[in-house]
């Protein structure tokens, strides 16, 4: 098993805790211990074999030159042969990477040769003083004897043979050598034990720290909440796959899975419930998609999946559906039932010229498309690539734009249908880019939010809107749209408050519109920022109400003053059904709560009649006027004043 496979295997077993670390490295396996022993003993073999080879070479020469024994040539020859054998073993060990078994064999061979040499010397030229060589060889072997077997055999054989050779010299000599043998074998045994335990201690410590390091490495790449590989692991996997694809290997598919509506659950029921839900989602994703792909947690409620090989569009749609279905099934957490859905975006590795950031950007883009059109799964295609490029061009043009010069505001009236009077105007941003021409507000506002340029844009637009509004009759209010970045940073809110104060306009005439997705992303910060605007005396409206996750509970918590019922409800009016009841319920609920309501997107007389019938009072829509330039407001107001006497069907002359 490779290092990577080992990591993945441990990671896939679920979240690891420090309790999983074995207390003793012996648990890491006998084979590992033998491997480590070989690595520790190898240098000792290296240190001993070559000097011994040199020693035998020298003795060969001394036998030849100085020995008077008739056996001198044989002894010299045997010394030379043994010297060469030691040299060969020394060189082999020097090459390194010797296994435990091989080192033990070398140990046996070295001992065997030295032992036979001493025995043959005694046989050819008996000398009692040289019996000490048995002790010497025994002590040396006990130092580098890698196995207990080797050391024990060396001790027993050396002692027995020495005593065998000592016996013919009489009982006194035998007694002396017996004492020497005892002392020698105890010394050899103790030395071997000391060396061995020092080495094994060091090995155990090293193995434990290696294991700890490996576990720490795994934990660093594992999401502690869900047990899935984390963002870091995901990026490593992605890079590896990209490298393989770059080297001509097989392609892969990247999927990004994002939960819809998780934020609302987290904010409403707390983080503990949110965390439990996320781990259950992770389990389901692993079960539904883990066989085909590697599921990781990117962070928050976003997951990623890497699928190796090529997949057809149908296969990906089926896979995406399986993931979404598994997530959509009901959850039972702490006795409460929950349901969440998910959106999935897929991109094939060949869509991004092998760049990890670009690939994620494309999978994200597809996922956002899936979220926007509620289709569950979207695969990134060349068509989406064009859209992405266009967005890139818009962002680039926005970055270099002269916002003061190119940005403007237009105004759409808000009308009280009972009196037919205009109650105020909503300021809507317009951008006329020198390179791109008129860009749709939802497109450039989204681009400005993504790039952070909205922080620069909002003050410019607010200044412009306030300048016009200060010239209107006092009874007309100004509604102004705020973005997430405008209310998520205290410094941005400070700036807006300063602009309001300096404009000289009565803050009570101002209403700030925020969307529900915006406040749901960070409820607490949103609440504080909106409270600051309300302290000035301004009102806060919840825009596009009814299509997201905000509910009347949130309206109360945020002290929302007005609700703007999303245009989609009025659009659906013509289909009949429940829509009329829905709008009526919302309008009634608002009046019960003492909150104002504005119905957006009224385009026809019939729609207006229905709304009037259910008691709606304030509306906004093309029926009265499309957004108009500031200079058209006076004529619109005078015409609508005339119209209040006659028909309410008045349109501004110049719609923008
Ligand atoms: P919104 O705040 O919900 O604004 C209402 C949008 O609905 C406007 O689109 C308006 O022209 C359109 N509308 C109004 N009545 C009708 C109708 O009867 N039929 C149809 N089909 N549409 C109608 P617009 O001007 O394109 O603005 C789109 C969105 O861009 C706005 O939605 C708002 O979310 C955002 N936006 C516009 N100006 C600003 C701004 O200054 N700041 C921020 N942060 N967002 C802005
Ligand atoms: Mg609005
Ligand atoms: Mg709206």
Say what the pLDDT of residue 26 is.
42
Residue the block writes with tokens 């100004």: 478
Among the residues of 1-99, which ranges form H helices? 3-12, 30-66, 72-94
Protein residue whose Cα sits closest to atom 29 of ligand 1 = 442
Give the pLDDT score at 207: 87
Identify the pLDDT of residue 317: 96
Instruction: Say if residues 11 and 222 touch (Cβ distance below 8 Å).
Output: yes
Would you state the pLDDT for residue 302?
96
Distance 472 CA to ligand 3 centre (A): 23
| Nearest CA-CA partner of 595 in 546, 548, 529, 539 | 539
Nearest residue (by CA) to ligand 1, atom 21, is 601
Of 369, 362, 356, 466, residue with least CA distance to 409: 466
Q: Which of 217, 241, 243, 242 is nearest to 230 (CA)?
A: 217
| Closest protein CA for atom 23 of ligand 1 | 601
**Residue from 308, 260, 310, 318 nearest 288 by CA:** 318
* CA atoms of 111 and 155, how far apart (whole Å): 10
Ligand 1 binding pocket (C-beta < 6 A) is 412, 428-429, 441-442, 445, 461, 481-483, 513, 543-544, 567, 601-603, 620-622, 627
Contact present, 420 and 646 (Cβ < 8 Å): no
For residue 453, which of 402, 529, 510 has the smallest C-alpha distance?
402
- Domains of the chain, by residue range, sit at 3-215, 231-380, 401-650
d(CA 203, CA 26): 10
Ligand in nearest proximity to the CA of 621: 1
Report how far ligand 1's centroid is from the alpha carbon of 626 (Å). Answer: 10
DSSP 426-484: EEEEEEEETTTEEE-HHHHHHHHHHHTTHHHHHHHHHHHHHHHHTTS-TT-EEEEE--H
Contacts 24+ apart (CB under 8 A), 490-499: 490/528, 490/529, 492/455, 492/458, 493/529, 493/532, 493/533, 495/459, 496/458, 496/459, 496/462, 496/533, 497/532, 497/533, 497/536, 499/459, 499/462, 499/463, 499/466
b/e per residue, 394-430, with b = 16+ CB within 10 A? bbebbeebeeeebbbbbbbbbbebeebbbbbbbbbbb
Question: From ligand 1's centre to the CA of 211, what distance in Å?
Answer: 59
Report CA 228 to chain centroid distance, whole Å: 9
Atom nearest to 410 CA in ligand 1: 25
Ligand 1 midpoint to CA 481 (Å): 9
Probe target for ligand 1 pocket from 439, 441, 486, with the most ligand atoms within 8 Å of CB: 441
Listed residue (144, 31, 42, 124) closest to 79, CA to CA: 124
Give the distance (Å) from ligand 2 centre to CA of residue 543: 5
Contact between 349 and 252 (Cβ < 8 Å): yes
CA-proximal residue: ligand 1, atom 45 (nearest):
481
Residue nearest to ligand 1 atom 11, measured at CA: 627
pLDDT of residue 653: 35
237-295 pLDDT, tens digit per residue, is 999 999 999 888 889 999 999 998 888 788 788 899 999 999 999 999 999 998 889 99
Residue 131 in contact with residue 165, Cβ under 8 Å?
Answer: yes
Rounded Cα distance between 189 and 94, Å, is 27
**Residue 201, token pair as written in the block:** 């201690």
Find the 413 Cα to ligand 3 centroid distance in Å.
13
Residue bearing the CA closest to ligand 1, atom 10:
627
Report the alpha-carbon angle 574-578-579, nearest 5. 50
Q: How far is the CA of 481 from the centre of ligand 2 (A)?
A: 5
The CA 567 to ligand 3 mean position distance, Å, reads 7
Structure tokens at 633: 């407001």
Report the predicted TM-score, pTM, of the whole model to 2 decimal places.
Answer: 0.64
Residues in the chain: 656
Report the alpha-carbon distance of residue 84 to residue 259 in Å, rounded.
74
Alpha-carbon distance of 426 to 536, in angstroms, equals 19
**Among candidates 122, 38, 62, 101, which has minimal Cα distance to 137?**
122
> Nearest CA to 223 among 121, 145, 301, 148?
301
Ligand in nearest proximity to the CA of 483: 1
3-state DSSP call for residue 354? coil
Task: Tell me how far apart the alpha carbons of residues 417 and 127 are, in angstroms, rounded to a whole number.
Answer: 130
Ligand nearest to the CA of 620: 1
Give the closest residue (by CA) to ligand 1 atom 22. Answer: 601
Spans in the chain with pLDDT lower than 70? 1-28, 352-354, 518-521, 549-550, 644-656
- Which of 445, 482, 568 for mutating ligand 1's site (highest number of atoms within 8 Å of CB)? 445
Q: How far apart are CA 157 and CA 188, in angstroms?
A: 13
Residue 166 Cα to ligand 1 midpoint, Å, equals 112
What pLDDT score was predicted for residue 5? 41
Ligand nearest to the CA of 412: 1
Output the pLDDT for position 14: 41
β-pair type (477-481, 510-515): parallel
Q: How far is the CA of 315 from the centre of ligand 1 (A)?
A: 39
Q: Which string of DSSP letters, residue by residue, matches 482-535?
A: --HHHHH-HHHHHHHHHHHHHH---GGGEEEEEEHHHHHHTHHHHHHHHHHHHH
Atom of ligand 1 nearest to the CA of 483: 44
Residues 231-380: name the CATH superfamily. Answer: Reverse transcriptase/Diguanylate cyclase domain (3.30.70.270)
Whole-angstrom distance, CA of residue 656 vs CA of residue 639: 18
pLDDT value of residue 575? 78
Q: What pLDDT, on the 0 to 100 scale, is given for residue 474?
A: 94
Rounded to an integer, what is the distance from CA 418 to the centroid of its chain?
56
| pLDDT score recorded for residue 370 | 93
Q: What's the pLDDT score for residue 649? A: 45
Pocket test for ligand 1, best of 394, 464, 481, 499 (most atoms within 8 A of CB): 481
In 3-state terms the chain splits into helix, strand, coil percentages (rounded to 5) of: 65, 15, 20
Topology (CATH) of 401-650: TIM Barrel (3.20.20)
Mean per-residue pLDDT of the chain: 89
């Amino acid at each position: 098993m490779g290092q990577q496979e080992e990591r993945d295997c441990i990671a896939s077993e679920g979240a690891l805790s420090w309790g999983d670390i074995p207390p003793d490295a012996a648990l890491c396996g006998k084979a590992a211990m033998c491997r480590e022993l070989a690595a520790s003993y190898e240098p000792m073999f290296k240190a001993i074999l070559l000097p011994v080879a040199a020693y035998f070479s020298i003795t060969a020469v001394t036998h030849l030159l100085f020995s008077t024994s008739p056996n001198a040539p044989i002894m010299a020859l045997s010394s030379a042969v043994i010297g060469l054998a030691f040299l060969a073993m020394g060189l082999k060990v020097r090459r390194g990477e010797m296994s435990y078994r091989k080192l033990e064999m070398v140990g046996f061979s070295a001992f065997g040769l030295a032992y036979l040499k001493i025995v043959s010397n005694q046989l050819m030229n008996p000398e009692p003083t040289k019996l000490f060589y048995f002790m010497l060889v025994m002590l040396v072997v006990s130092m580098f004897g890698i196995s207990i077997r080797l050391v024990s055999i060396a001790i027993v054989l050396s002692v027995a043979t020495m005593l065998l050779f000592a016996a013919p010299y009489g009982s006194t000599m035998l007694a002396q050598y017996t004492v020497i043998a005892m002392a020698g074998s105890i010394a050899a045994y103790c030395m071997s034990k000391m060396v061995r335990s020092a080495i094994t201690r060091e090995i155990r410590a090293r193995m434990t720290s290696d294991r700890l390091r490996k576990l720490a490495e795994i934990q660093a790449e594992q999401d502690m909440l869900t047990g899935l590989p984390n963002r870091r692991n995901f990026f490593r996997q992605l890079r590896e796959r990209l490298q393989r694809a770059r080297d001509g290997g097989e392609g892969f598919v990247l999927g990004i899975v994002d939960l819809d509506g998780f934020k609302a659950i987290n904010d409403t029921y707390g983080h503990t419930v949110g965390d439990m839900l996320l781990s259950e989602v992770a389990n389901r994703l692993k079960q539904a998609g883990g066989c085909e792909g590697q599921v990781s947690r990117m962070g928050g409620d976003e997951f990623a999946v890497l699928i190796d090989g090529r997949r057809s569009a149908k296969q990906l749609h089926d896979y995406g559906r399986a993931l979404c279905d598994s997530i959509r099934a009901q959850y039972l957490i702490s006795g409460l039932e929950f349901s969440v859905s998910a959106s999935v975006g897929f991109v094939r590795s060949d869509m991004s010229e092998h760049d990890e950031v670009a690939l994620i950007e494309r999978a994200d883009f597809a996922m956002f498309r899936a979220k926007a059109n509620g289709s569950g799964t979207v695969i990134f295609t060349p068509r989406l690539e064009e859209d992405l490029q266009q967005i890139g061009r818009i962002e680039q043009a926005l970055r270099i734009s002269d916002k003061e010069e190119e940005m403007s505001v237009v105004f759409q009236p808000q009308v009280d249908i009972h009196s037919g009077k205009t109650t105020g105007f909503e300021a809507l941003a317009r951008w006329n880019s020198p390179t791109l021409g008129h860009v749709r507000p939802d497109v450039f506002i989204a681009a400005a939010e993504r790039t952070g340029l909205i922080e620069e844009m909002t003050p410019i637009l607010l200044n412009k809107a306030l300048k016009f509004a200060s010239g209107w009759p006092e009874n007309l209010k100004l509604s102004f749209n705020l973005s997430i970045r405008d209310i998520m940073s205290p410094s941005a809110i400070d700036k807006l408050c300063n602009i309001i104060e300096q404009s000289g306009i009565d803050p009570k005439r101002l209403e700030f519109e925020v969307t529900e997705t915006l406040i749901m992303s960070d409820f607490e910060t949103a609440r504080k920022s909106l409270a600051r605007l309300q302290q000035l005396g301004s009102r806060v409206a919840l825009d596009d109400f009814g299509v997201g996750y905000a509910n009347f509970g949130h309206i109360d918590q945020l002290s929302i003053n007005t609700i703007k019922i999303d245009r989609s409800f009025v659009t659906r009016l013509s289909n009949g059904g429940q829509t009329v009841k829905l709008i009526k319920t919302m309008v009634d609920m608002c009046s019960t709560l003492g909150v104002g309501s504005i119905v957006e997107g009224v385009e026809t007389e019939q729609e207006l009649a229905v709304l009037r019938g259910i008691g709606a009072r304030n509306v906004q829509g093309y029926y009265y006027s499309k957004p108009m330039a500031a200079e058209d407001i006076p004529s619109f107001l005078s015409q609508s004043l005339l119209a209040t006497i006659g028909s309410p069907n008045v349109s501004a002359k110049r719609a923008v």
